Amino acid sequence: MRPIQNAGGHVGLTARKYPIAYNTAITAGEVVKLVNGLVVASAAAAAAAILGIAAENHPGTADALNARANGTDILVYDNPELIFECPVPVIAAASGSATTIVPKSGDVAAAAANDAFNDSIMVLIEKAADSTNTDPLGKHIPITDYTASGTIITKASGGTPSAGDKYEVYPKIGAAVGGIAALDSTTLSKLVLTAAGATKIKCVGHDYDRHMVRLMAVEHSLGVEDA
């Protein structure tokens, strides 16, 4: 993840120090949370409130060139109104019709429920060598329905996808992305469609030119709580 600005438009981003166990490994760009007052990596499904985005590497092992590598604090971009971004997830078509796309097996999480992709936007970014798809590259294609059984995406009428055609999938703006995506379980720094459950992160914008999804916390460790 890369922090880009705060919701009010301020781009002078600052990071603050938080305590961390000396042997906890965190990579810059990871989504992090607080557990017992210490920074740890967020879970792929992000069930707990997030603190923000790690602003530095903390490998958790001694490094003669970096005294902070196994120190007891770490810098975190922690503004509750922080907007951050990551590359947009991509799926490949296995088959389809003028009004449907069936993603390649494994490209969409089995846990994605009916209607999970509704109102998301697909963008055709690559055609297979033998593709007969008549849609132009770069076409924005609204998703009108999703059926979990068979992983059938219903789309606005247009070209028929060929196996291997690739589409970016931009989540619905304003909605938590957990129904269709999760944080990558290895890096915790991007969204993947092969798993679902990042319920504490919501989509707040699409950057089609740079192929990025803009995100904010749904629930933040420093947010105001109801009395």
Domains of the chain and any CATH numbers: 2-84 (2.40.300), 87-217 (no CATH)
User: Which pLDDT tens digit goes with each residue over 39-93?
Assistant: 999 998 888 899 999 999 999 999 988 889 999 999 999 999 999 999 999 999 9
Q: Which pTM value belongs to this model?
A: 0.91
pLDDT value for 223: 79
pLDDT value for 224: 61
- DSSP E strand boundaries for the chain: 2-6, 16-19, 31-35, 38-41, 52-54, 73-77, 82-87, 90-96, 100-103, 121-126, 140-147, 152-155, 166-170, 182-183, 191-192, 201-207, 212-217
Are 19 and 68 in contact by the 8 Å Cβ rule? The answer is no
pLDDT value for 227: 43
What does pLDDT average to in each consecutive run of 10 residues of the chain (227 residues)? Answer: 89 91 96 96 90 96 91 96 96 97 95 94 97 97 96 95 97 93 92 90 96 95 68
pLDDT value for 225: 58
